[in-house]
Structure 1
Amino acid sequence: MDEGIAQTRELGAALGPYHPLIINNTDKLKDISGLDEVSYHMSGTEAVMQAVRLAHYHTGKKRTVVFCGAYHGWWDGVQPGIGNPRKVHDVYTLKEMSNDTLRVLKTRKDIACVLVNPLQALNPNGGSSSDSMLIASDRSAHFDKEAYTVWLKALREICTKKNIVMIMDEVFLGFRLAKGGAQEYFGVQADMVTYGKTLGGGLPVGVVCGKAELMKRYKEHKPTDICFARGTFNA
């Protein structure tokens, strides 16, 4: 018997088998996202935390970029402004759909990842709806799919050239736009995608889908250099 198979069976006997639905769901998520691997977490915020952490770990760079008005969960690592009592020095908040932003991304060498919340296509650089915002009748939204598609593709091109991890945060939007979410709708493939409560029909869940080289929790040349993703419901 192959040694690897024997070890797997021993592990299964010790811990108990996973339900077949987990494999089924994982295969579906890989198909939907167009990415290689999947990890499960407790919430959308935790999924974003894991994606950003892995981006920093594998690129060796220390800065994260978010866009004005976008929300990516309550973690202070992506919330540098109102609502976070800690001063954050490793997050740049830039203007979406701006040539100045593209210039910054082209010239800086310390940016590990860019977070995109495609819900902002309705209201670029405006505050997203939340429990801390009063929604009045004068609030309006304008959606220009063509312009936002051009923006995302320009962003994708620069991220590829500069080794910046492009993270599509679809925790809120989920699969409302298309089966493949915003990636399919706008025709842009991200390096990592996060999903949340929309995936669980409102139940608490977080998912990261990513390229295999970004989902590794260790480095090939330094096997003891580990990036943990631990917890009772992290897998």
Structure 2
Amino acid sequence: MKITHSLPIQSQTIDSAHKKSKQSQQTVQHETYTKSTQEPSWNYSVTEVSATYSRNLLLPTDINKPDWSLIPTKGMQVPSQEELIAQIKALATKMANAPYHKDVDQLHAQFNRLHTQYLSPVSPDRKALHEQAMRVIKQYEAEKPTQTRELTLVDYLNEMDEIYTKNTTQLAGGTVSSSINSQGGYDYEVKVGGQTLMSSVNGHWLYGKTPAEEQKSKEFYQIYWSAMDQAKAELNGQ
């Protein structure tokens, strides 16, 4: 496994496909030094900087299963193009009345599902990619048992500044990279041909659009907003 040093993965154009994150398992840190009563630079004394303390390494994050109703993938069962467009236009008409609609959250959920379905005809096989990635991830986590090591204050501050080790391993046709997330577990990024196709954020899977999906997404929004404008014009004409 090739090891490189870099900052944690920054979210790119990733579509949200997750609910509120669960609290991941994280070991409580115990510091063995005390705060200096003096006021040196950064409020730490020389003794504090050189002191060490023990801490358990971070535990793996529980990775949830992807919500495939919100992540486009090859072979997804979707209505015909004509039916999809009709549903998009009907939804836009309902959303034009959204301020007076009781089910706004349901309408937003329907919007996300329709958007996913509209993209899927040009999507890569993310289900197969996810299965491959999970095999790699399970192997990686099996090789990273919880350990204990000594850290200086400088080490601790570096970790708080999110300067972590990023691990990359090969996947058939791509790579899987791991990084420590804000909750103390591991998150993963799956790339094929340099393109981020899937990534996890605090254990929840998201996806990154391919160029073909970006084009389909633009088409979707053009259909949606055109129908929305027409519906609003009809409302204002009443």
- Provide the TM-score with structure 1 as the length reference: 0.27
- With CA pairs under 8 Å and 6+ residues apart, which has the higher RCO, 1 or 2? 2
Please tell me whether Structure 1 or Structure 2 has the larger radius of gyration of its CA atoms. 2
Per the normalisation by structure 2, the TM-score is 0.27
